Amino acid sequence: MNVERLISSRAKRIDASGIRRVFELGARLKDPNNLSIGQPDFPVPALVKDAAVRAIQEDRNGYTMTGGILELRARIASELRADLGWDVTGPLSGGGEGAGMLVTSGTSGGLMLAFMSLLEAGDEVIVPDPYFVAYPHMATMCGATAVKCDTYPDFKLTAARVEAVMTERTKVVLVCSPGNPTGVVMTREEQRELLSLCRARGVVLISDEIYDLFCFDESRTDRDAAGNFRCPSAAREPDAWDSVLVVRGFGKTYGVTGWRMGYVAGPRVLVDQIAKFQQYSYVCAPSMAQWGCVAALDQDMSGVIADYQARRDLVVSRLREVTEVALPGGAFYAFPRVPERLGISAGQFVERCIEKNTLVIPGSAFSTRDTHIRLSFATTRTQLERGMDVIVDLMRG
Ligand SMILES: Cc1ncc(COP(=O)(O)O)c(C=O)c1O
């Protein structure tokens, strides 16, 4: 049978990720300085692993409720109350009033189902450019269009930049702070203005906060409802739950990306729809991982964050010897410019890095431009130092 003929136009519009190509090239290298990895390198806390193992051994392996096990729901609800001042304790499908929350299969699961719940064919979602690789493809999978909002050179998704690309088809604005691939953190004022614009235009603001705990000292300018310093979030503005869908994850924070754990919180009318889609697609987040994440929420990760901040300092000070780089206030990435005087694209620069056994990702994997590279400092100190030597050397030309 000619199955090719049956493939949907949606599927044909999607190209394999540029990141995967770098991984394939990298697989041929022996012990490369790998600065291309988008997941933490610290060991998963033992208590977290134990909790998941215990759940398996105690036969808690069946389907869970669509919205997540009660223990995890209660734990996330108290986090959200302390952080955002939101009350998400009401039942799902409880009539659409107030805020709601749903445990999802990864942050990706939450984003995908949110897009499915909001976007019709022809609708537009505004995403920052550069963007996390999956955003435009998720829009395509829904038959919608991702409108890429240019945020160079400071990588802030400001209200002014967003307003310039809004149309009557815009239904969603997607902000990601700290950002991937840049690590850049928006200020409180910038988040507030973006939310005001979305409210004025009747557009939902999705806030991808997967890196919320990877927030370095100078970015901790917002106070949560419990008085702790945090990265700014539009979700902390008064009554933001009525127009902001917060998407958070456990994978990066606790080193469990393969567990596929995240959650969404926001207007209950929207969360109820997401729950409906989850019921008929992912069904629920993985059961043993939910138990592991109950334990994860009790872990103090501040030592890890301080270590990442020290690595960020190293990376930025090395890069600033040779090029411009926006300060990553969080996450574990930097997105420096390939110096113009080299006269080459980022793709060509990455090839030169590979020749020197060093892996980074070209900006074109995340952007309509190919002028920058993403490097990740979620790697061993030795690999990081060796990789930075190669990059700085090549940038010096
Ligand atoms: C900004 C951003 N959002 C979402 C995701 C997807 O995360 P998850 O593994 O929880 O689906 C990633 C993963 O790299 C990311 O960087």
Q: pLDDT tens digits, residue range 127-174?
A: 999 999 999 999 999 999 999 999 999 999 999 999 999 999 999 999
Residue 105: is its pLDDT beyond 60? Answer: yes
Chain Cα centroid distance, residue 201: 25
Predicted confidence (pLDDT) per residue in 236-277, tens digit: 999 999 999 999 999 999 999 999 999 999 999 999 999 999
- The fraction of the chain above a pLDDT of 70, given in percent, is 97
- Give the pLDDT score at 272: 95
Does ligand 1 have an atom closer than 6 angstroms to the CB of 107?
A: yes
Q: Using 50, 70 and 90 to split pLDDT, how confident is the model at 292?
A: very high
Cis before residue 130, ω within 30 degrees of 0? yes
CA distance 1 to 129: 40
Residue 364: is its pLDDT beyond 80? Answer: yes
- Give the pLDDT score at 17: 57
Domains in the chain, CATH or no CATH each? 3-44+301-396 (3.90.1150.10), 61-296 (3.40.640.10)
Question: Alpha-carbon Rg of the chain, whole angstroms?
Answer: 21
Q: Using 50, 70 and 90 to split pLDDT, how confident is the model at 91?
A: confident
User: Tokens representing 229?
Assistant: 């310093």
CA distance 305 to 334: 16
- Give the pLDDT score at 95: 64
CA distance 110 to 263: 6
CA distance 391 to 133: 23
Which of 104, 108, 182, 293 has most ligand 1 atoms within 8 Å of CB, for mutation?
108
The answer to whether 41 and 254 are in contact (CB under 8 A) is no
Nearest to 130 by CA among 103, 154, 104: 154
Q: Which position has the higher pLDDT, 20 or 104? A: 104
- Give the pLDDT score at 268: 95
Does ligand 1 have an atom closer than 6 angstroms to the CB of 299?
A: no
- Give the pLDDT score at 94: 62
- Give the pLDDT score at 27: 78
For residues 332-360, one letter each, b for 16 or more C-beta atoms within 10 angstroms of the residue's C-beta and e for the rest, the string is bbbbbbbbeeeebbbbebbebbbeebbbb
Other C-beta atoms closer than 10 Å to the C-beta of 65 total: 14
Question: What do you get for the CA distance between the two ends of the chain, in Å?
Answer: 54
Residue 280: is its pLDDT beyond 80? Answer: yes
Among 94-108, 122-136, 217-231, the range of highest mean pLDDT: 122-136
Which of 23, 180, 214 has most ligand 1 atoms within 8 Å of CB, for mutation?
180
Give residue 73 CA to ligand 1 midpoint distance, Å: 21
- Give the pLDDT score at 231: 95
When pLDDT is averaged across residues 339-360 and rounded to a whole number, the result is: 95
Give residue 293 CA to ligand 1 midpoint distance, Å: 17
Give residue 95 CA to ligand 1 midpoint distance, Å: 30
When pLDDT is averaged across residues 51-77 and rounded to a whole number, the result is: 97
- Give the pLDDT score at 41: 87
For the chain, give the mean pLDDT: 94
Q: Using 50, 70 and 90 to split pLDDT, how confident is the model at 31?
A: confident
Give residue 6 CA to ligand 1 midpoint distance, Å: 30
Nearest 5°: the CA angle 216, 221, 227 is 105
Q: Which position has the higher pLDDT, 256 or 20? A: 256
Residue 101: is its pLDDT beyond 80? Answer: yes
The answer to whether 318 and 226 are in contact (CB under 8 A) is no
Which of 103, 245, 252, 263 has most ligand 1 atoms within 8 Å of CB, for mutation?
252
Give residue 136 CA to ligand 1 midpoint distance, Å: 13
Among 4-8, 262-266, 322-326, which stretch is predicted with the lowest mean pLDDT? 4-8
pTM of the model: 0.96
Cross-strand pairs, 204: 172
Q: Which position has the higher pLDDT, 8 or 16? A: 8
- Give the pLDDT score at 29: 85
- Give the pLDDT score at 18: 58
When pLDDT is averaged across residues 315-342 and rounded to a whole number, the result is: 97
Query: How many C-alpha atoms does 372 have within 13 Å on its Cβ side?
Result: 27
